[in-house]
Copies of this chain bind each other. A is one copy, B any other.
Amino acid sequence: MPELTVSSVLTAERSVGIREVARLSGVSIATVSRVFNDAAAVNPETRERVLEQAQALNYQPSSLGRNLVRGRSELLGLIVPNVAFPLYGEMIGGIEEVLGREGMSILLALSHDNVDSEFTAAQHLLRHAVDGGIIINSRLGLNAPLPAPRGLNWVQVAPEHTGTPHRVELDNEAGGRLAALEMLGLGRRRLAFVGAPGRESADRERGFAAELRRAGLIYRRAQGDYSEASGVQAAGELLEHNAAVDAVFVAGDLMAAGVLRALHQRGLRVPEAVAVVGFDDAAIASLLYPRLTSIRQPARAMGTAAAELSLRLLGGHRTEPITFPPELVRRESTGPPSRLSARHF
Contacts and interface: CB of A to CB of B under 8 A. Distances in A.
Interface of A: 1, 3-16, 58, 60-65, 67-68, 70-75, 78, 82-86, 88-90, 92-93, 96, 100, 105-110, 123-129, 131, 149-151, 228, 254, 257, 260-261, 264, 267, 283-284, 286-289, 314-318, 344-345
Given A83-B83, A254-B287, 7 more contacts: A4-B315, A6-B131, A7-B72, A10-B150, A75-B128, A96-B108, A260-B289
A89 B93 contact: no
A85 B75 contact: no
A289 B261 contact: yes
A89 B86 CA distance: 8
Contacts of A6: 72, 131, 314-316
Nearest to A104: B124
A110 B101 CA distance: 13
Nearest to A62: B129
A120 to B, nearest CB: 9
A96 B345 CA distance: 43
A163 B260 CA distance: 46
Contacts of A109: 96, 105-106
B105 A106 contact: no
A285 B11 CA distance: 47
A9 B316 contact: yes
A129 B64 contact: yes
